[in-house]
Structure 1
Amino acid sequence: MPIFKKEKKMEVYENLEKIEKIGEGTYGKVYKVKDINTGQIFALKKLKLENNDEGVCVSTLREISLLRALSNSSYIVRLLDVKQIRNKVGKLLLYLVFQHMDSDLKQYITSYCRRLTKLPPQIIKSFLYQICKGVSYCHSRGVMHRDLKPSNLLVDQERGLIKIADLGLGRTFIIPIKKYTHQIMTLWYRAPEVLLGDTLYSTAVDMWSVGCIFAEMSLMKPLFKGDSEINQLHSIFRCLGTPNESIWPGVTKLRDWHIYPQWKNNDLRILVPDLDPSGLDLLCKMLTYEPSKRISAKKAVEHPYFADLDKSQFENVI
């Protein structure tokens, strides 16, 4: 972890120099930076704080709190430092320093697509295992991520590591489950119960997302690619069949349930042809309609699909 020098002239981290901008979103920018004293590379997230009078917004505080709580895991990107300042014009800024990773999974898959090759099966298996371990770690500590997608999974290509990032939509959960907003998750990775308006969802929503990511690593493209909530549901139903009360008790009682076209279930062996039988079995368990029957992250890491994976390589990794 770097030693950060005292701020000078309201400029944060005078020992860090910007190398390049590596990301930009609604709330801020992310830079690749270097510690001029040690040569270490980090990621610096500069956040815009919308309401300066009331301080840091709730979602930002939530992300910082969750990251601090979860950063001890080898499977979660490490938050190294947080600093809040006012710049010369009085605007409140928040800086978060993270360990730097080469790319994200979306970029990683795209790099293979450009070479007209697919991800090797062992890389898919290794990445999926690490993702499941990270999700299991979050769930065991009462945290749902709620926005798992390839761009929120950061990759260290040299070491073959993948880590969960961006917990801005993460929420702690309690038993009994309370109501949450259903406007979460990028559409292509959104669980059907959320698309149908269920506000009593739990950790199973993350496992649906993991299943979508698993299929995408094998196919090199998203499995379900809708351009609206209803279109996303149709995309899922066309592949997995239209659900009913016999396979998903209570589905017709969900808030946004309507009468949908009756599509038949397609064979996952046809939809995702490059997975072996154990991989297909795990994918099927992740993409189970009934949330209570969907495989948990803890059970997923014990699945036979990972039997031939050397898991010791992920122990004590920073």
Structure 2
Amino acid sequence: MEAASTAELPWLHMLRSWRCRMQRPWSYTDPFQEQDVVERFTWRQGILFGAATSYVHLEKLCEGSCATVYKGISRINGQLVALKVIRMQAEEGVPFRAIWEASLLKRLKHANIVLLHDIIQTKETLTFVFEYMHTDLAQYMGQHPGGLHSCNAMLFMFQLLRGLAYIHQQHILHRDLKPQNLLISCLGELKLADFGLARTKTIPRQTYSSEVVTLWYRPPDLLLGATDYSSDLDIWSAGCIFVEMIQGQPVFAGTSGTHEQLVKIWAVLGVPTEDTWPGLSKLPNYNPELVASRRPQRLRVICDRLSRVPAAEDLASRMLTAFPRGRISAQDALLHGFFSPLPPQVYRVPAGQSLLTVPGVRLQPEICDLFASYKKGQLSGGSSKFW
């Protein structure tokens, strides 16, 4: 963590106090809010975007093989940020994935897509400055085991599909949807993140690698070696995440590679045939011995909590269809009856505006939170505890 100098400590104290008093929500429409900077921070004029000194590192959040993510604060506008510091390779320079992610995120402006504020490049590192999000869906589910409140699963799923519908309209495939790549704010806003594996789909019959998407969320067509795929790839992953939110555990949790993963899928969906999946036998990894004698079970048998939530099993079944062209689109899924309890205003919210601006749309207390509050004697009927 980068330590603040003695001279900066009063500034940090004043900044924290100002943040507590700030009333007007930060808008999504203008990521840099330059006018606000001029009006509110005239005493800090001269601090520019693109400079490492414009951000203070507060604490390390996580570390990977080629990048480290820090929680930070912007000296430009006082906002909390996430600083993704990518280490440069001496021989290779800037990693291709980083270049691609930056180019995509600069053009994607949506309330359910993580916002890229700034990019900082030095000789040793490339830093992406993102809006700060409090947790991700994997951590949230880990803190609330046994399945989420059905209203929260509905709220998260609607936002996930809303973000997917937007990028699919832009002819972009995410190709790495999993709970760890879905960020969540303290209010319950969900945003798609990590576009390093994303690709554009503008040419018909354009082929890609089948070695994408984390195994548990990889569709059967990719497991069988398909390289000609489209937005249906992301729909399968989203369906797996949907069931996991309701059931409380991954639906296809294989452990030993693609063979076991396919066996788990066929056990639920049934073995496909050329009648149900045209062109199945032409896929590179097709094995007639693999697609054999298992009798399928309905999703509700494997995931019993689905049957307790109205229309959940039907939506999951429309997303988790073996034949890729048979999967529902993100745009059509938003209109599914599962989301009928949401107020109709959610369909009129502009792309750059959060779904939580609609009256009555809010994150609900999870059961374990209510139980913990009850045990502590702090339960209050009008409050909601998040995480």
Scaled by the length of structure 1, the TM-score of the pair is 0.90
Which residue does 2:110 correspond to in 1? 73
1:317: how far off?
2.4
Aligned counterparts of 1:292 and 1:154: Cα–Cα separation in 2: 28
Superposed counterparts of 1:99-114, under 5 Å: 99-113=131-145
Separation in structure 2 between the aligned mates of residue 121 and residue 69 of structure 1, nearest angstrom? 33
Give 3-state SS (helix, strand or coil) of 1:14's partner: helix
Superposition pairs of residues 168-317 of structure 1, within 5 angstroms: 168-227=196-255, 228-258=257-287, 259-260=289-290, 261-275=292-306, 276-310=309-343, 312=345, 315=350, 316-317=353-354
CA RMSD of aligned residues (A): 2.0
Partner of 2:157: 128
- In structure 2, how many angstroms separate the alpha carbons of the residues matched to 1:53 and 1:289? 43
Equivalence map 1:153-168=2 (5 Å): 153-157=182-186, 159-168=187-196
Q: Is the 8 A contact 2:74 2:80 kept in 1?
A: yes
For 1:40, give the aligned amino acid: Q
* Other-structure match for 1:59: 97
Q: Deviations over 1:148-205 (max 9, x none)?
A: 0000000013x21100000000000123121101110100000110010001111101
Q: Measure how far apart 1:265 and its partner are.
A: 1.7
Q: Which amino acid aligns with 2:53?
A: E
CA distance in 1, matches of 2:156, 2:98: 28
- Bigger helix fraction: 2
Confirm or deny: 8 A CA contact 1:42 1:97 kept in the other structure. Answer: yes
Q: Give how far 1:98 is off.
A: 0.4
Q: CA deviation at 1:230?
A: 1.2
Show structure 1 runs of 5+ residues with no match: none
How far does residue 39 in structure 1 lie from its aligned partner after superposition?
4.0
CA contact (8 A) 2:52 2:120 kept: no
Q: How much does 1:38 deviate?
A: 4.9
Higher strand share: 1
How many pairs align?
Answer: 304
Find the residue that maps to 2:203 and give its secondary structure.
coil
- Answer yes or no: is the 8 Å Cα contact 2:47–2:75 preserved in 1: no
Change beyond 3 A, Cα 1:311–1:95: farther
Q: Which runs of 5+ in 2 are unaligned?
A: 1-31, 38-45, 356-387
Question: What corresponds to 1:26 in structure 2?
Answer: 65
